[in-house]
Structure 1
Amino acid sequence: MPKNKKQASSSSSDSDEGPVDRNAPPEKKAKMGAKTDDKEPTWVLQGKKLVKIREFKGKMYIDIREFYEKNGELLPGKKGVSLTPEVWRKLLSLGDEINETLSTMC
């Protein structure tokens, strides 16, 4: 095969990011854990992994999710979990126990 001919690369990824917009506006860099200016209260965990308080079908949820950018807008991806406020509070109450168990395993 000639060296100047490019091979089509096939890449399988379990990421649910949308198509890459090569002309997208540059992203604003947010510090990890920083709250963003958004109509929904939003905190950045890492990169495009966000925590948002969102309303869906009239109910409030804590949404921990990977987002993707499309046409300059961040949209929720498939990877994530939405917790009711009650389940969120339960998770927080387990934090010390989870951290203690984690420290014995790592």
Structure 2
Amino acid sequence: MGFIIKLLLTGVAVVLASYILPGVHIDTFLTALILAIVLALLNAVVRPILVILTIPVTIVTLGLFLLVINALIILLADYLVAGFSVDGFIWALIFSLVLSVINAILDMIF
């Protein structure tokens, strides 16, 4: 039950972030929920592989390369989910930061 609530909160966060950022476009709330599921799957499967493969770069950049990995996952989700689009790498990076902040705020509230 907690996973479903987390997905709903992430869907709300995606919609809020798309309203805030002009470079991120999402069609419907259903698309936001699908995006939340895809992001959860990508973060569970692809992200650990990328983190392990980029450990030297992450150490040299003192962890800042993890932001690049987050942006790449957002761009991959853009490719996979119809109805969701990001206008470029910088918008994906900003979207991942805004999405993290909104998710943290919603987690504190609920």
TM-score (norm 1): 0.27
Higher relative contact order (CA 8 A, sep 6+): 2
TM-score (norm 2): 0.26
Q: Which has the larger radius of gyration?
A: 1
Which structure's residues are more often helix, by fraction?
A: 2
Which structure's residues are more often strand, by fraction?
A: 1
